[in-house]
Amino acid sequence: MTPPAGRRPGRSALGAQHRLFWAALAAPGIIWLTLLFIVPFYAILAIAGGQLDIFGNPVAVWNPLHWSSANFSAAWRDVAGASAFVGPIILRTLVYVALASLISLLIAYPAAYFVARFAGRRKALFLILLIAPFWISYMMRMLAWIDLLQTDGYVNKALSFLHLISQPVDWLGGLHVTVVLGLVYGYIPYLILVLYAGLDRIDPALIEAGRDLGLDRVRTFIRVTLPLSRQAILTGMLITVTISPTNCCPAPREP
């Protein structure tokens, strides 16, 4: 029998329509990711597992069953072998990223919390100030620090004026503090925006409920606000940790 006219489709039909809708919505992103990430990454593996021609040019081998492990073994020896030179660089980069991410979180969370909870009618102004760094090229923002950190720059002049240093410091010579603070400066706007988005979605009634149950401001923050913002913290840290290693971390200066 056919269903009477005007009867709504069943739950199974609606569920199938919803799944089809979300699949169609995700299809462009999946295709884009496949063409611009998975395929190039597989091409890199095919070249790494391939051979060299008579001219020394790499020849890709697309069948993974025919890949050679010689290049992979050589790369591993560069990372963890007796004559490894890449391993210390990777370790130093991870330490820099961990320190930069922690410092960024300590700076970004109070800033995002203030904008989300106490900015009031000035919230739009603060959001514009937070977005403003994205209007300037990342490279231009990094190059702007050269005039500040060079040996005759404003930082050394200020420290000399305050009698904190006896001679100019070569900040651009690969100092650890310069690299870490450069990473913090470059990526802290991403973290602030992500944390603000998470903190702004917290229902104020939940915070008021914690206060009504006898919690002071500190315990309300620890037991209510901080757990509810955990997802935003993890997302922001993931973005920071993922992007930061792509920067060039120079070797420390020789004494």
**Structure confidence by residue, pLDDT tens digits, 151-161:** 888 888 898 98
Q: Provide the CATH number for the domain formed by 87-255 in this structure.
A: 1.10.3720.10
Averaged pLDDT score across all residues of the chain: 83
Q: How many CB atoms lie within 10 A of CB 81?
A: 14
Which residues of the chain does CATH 1.10.3720.10 include?
A: 87-255
Query: Is the pLDDT assigned to residue 109 strictly greater than 90?
Result: yes
Q: Which residues contact 70 (CB under 8 A, 6 or more apart)?
A: none
What pLDDT is recorded for position 255?
45
Confidence of residue 110 (pLDDT cuts 50, 70, 90): very high
**Cα 100 from Cα 204, distance rounded (Å):** 31
Residue 102 has a pLDDT of 93
- Encode pLDDT of 71-83 as tens digits: 788 778 877 767 7
Report helix, strand or coil for 147.
helix
Residue keyed to tokens 């690299």: 179
Q: What is the reported pLDDT for 17?
A: 77
Backbone φ and ψ for 59, nearest 5 degrees, come out as -120, 120
pLDDT digits 0-9 by tens, 180-229: 888 888 888 889 989 999 998 888 888 888 888 888 888 888 888 889 99
> Residue 29 has which token pair?
């992103």
Each residue's pLDDT tens digit, 118-153: 888 888 888 888 888 778 887 888 788 888 888 888
* Ramachandran assignment for 163, one of left (phi > 0), alpha (psi -120 to 50 degrees), beta (any other): left
**Gap between the Cα atoms of 104 and 177, Å rounded:** 14
pTM of the model: 0.73
In the structure, what pLDDT confidence band is assigned to residue 240 with cuts at 50, 70 and 90? confident
* Residue given tokens 């000035």 in the structure block: 122
